[in-house]
Structure 1
Amino acid sequence: MPTTTHFTLAYWCVLIAALLPLVCATLAKKGGFGRAPQAGGYDNHAPREWLARQQGAAARANAAQANTFEALPFFIGAVIIAHQLGARQGLVDALALAFIALRLVYIWLYVADKAMARSAVWTLALAVNIAILFSGYR
């Protein structure tokens, strides 16, 4: 008899986590929209070069984008492993939501240049991710 499966809240969090880099990219590029590349505006022909020349909040948003991509594989893996190990779904969902909330705070702190708080939130998000990974451990 086939098992009935459904898209869990934790899986929805994976989708949200996969979209967070786009939020960061938008924050990094928004100051350059509406101006010609020759006037320092966003250059879609050479986006990485344009981003590399940015400073301040735009540069920090771009760095947050890179870190958000870096955090994604571990989060995806942790959620999948937790599901495969039969972790309590409510726990996995709650931890996945906590991870997303922490990553949103992390992005805000990064763009706002709150380095110490950002690092603390990054550490908490990593701890939550580790908790997701081990939530099905028996």
Structure 2
Amino acid sequence: MTIAFACVLVMGLLPYVAAGIAKKGFEGYDNGAPREWLAKQTGFRARANAAQANLFESLPLFFAAVIIASVAHAPQERIDLLAIGFVIARMTYLLCYVANWPTARSLVWAAGIACVIALFFQI
């Protein structure tokens, strides 16, 4: 498994980390109606849930970029570095979202999308 493919796995699991943060402590959590419970949350729980949705939304383009760069035989070192950059940016994004640092969140979001776009230009 390449480092980039390992990054695909990490990114596939990261939204679940955000979901865990949103449900941390399970104060009044209703497993029978989890979406309704989450919709009523505020503060870090609401932000973690929003981050979860955004993390899921970012997956298709990242997955496609890694696969396309790999199939096109782009230099593996560059694919790996850009994939690592994306993972670091998205982990930092989650931290910024939960901590309510919107400007930093936007900056790391931009860094992450730049990594994905760069992956497409490695071919």
Where does structure 1 lack aligned partners over 5 or more consecutive residues? Answer: 1-6, 36-40
State the alpha-carbon separation in 1 of the partners of residues 83 and 47 from structure 2: 25
Query: Residue 59 in 1 paired to residue 46 in 2?
Result: yes
Among 110, 114, 119, which residue is 2:106 paired with? 119
Query: 1:31 Cα deviation (Å)?
Result: 3.1
The equivalent residue for 1:18 is: 12
Equivalence map 1:13-92=2 (5 Å)? 13-32=7-26, 35=27, 41-92=28-79
Look up the SS of the partner of 1:54 in the other structure: coil
Query: 1:135 Cα deviation (Å)?
Result: 1.1
Letter in 2 for 1:98: G
The alignment's C-alpha RMSD in Å is 0.8
Per-residue Cα deviation, 1:64-105 (whole angstroms, up to 9, x for no partner): 000000000000000000001110000100110110011000
Where does structure 2 lack aligned partners over 5 or more consecutive residues? Answer: none
Equivalence map 1:86-101=2 (5 Å)? 86-101=73-88
TM-score w.r.t. length of structure 1: 0.87
The equivalent residue for 1:9 is: 3
Deviating beyond 6 angstroms after TM superposition, the runs of 4 or more aligned structure 1 residues are none
State the alpha-carbon separation in 2 of the partners of residues 53 and 108 from structure 1: 21
TM-score w.r.t. length of structure 2: 0.97
% identity of equivalent residues: 54
State the alpha-carbon separation in 2 of the partners of residues 118 and 31 from structure 1: 25
State the alpha-carbon separation in 1 of the partners of residues 5 and 111 from structure 2: 20
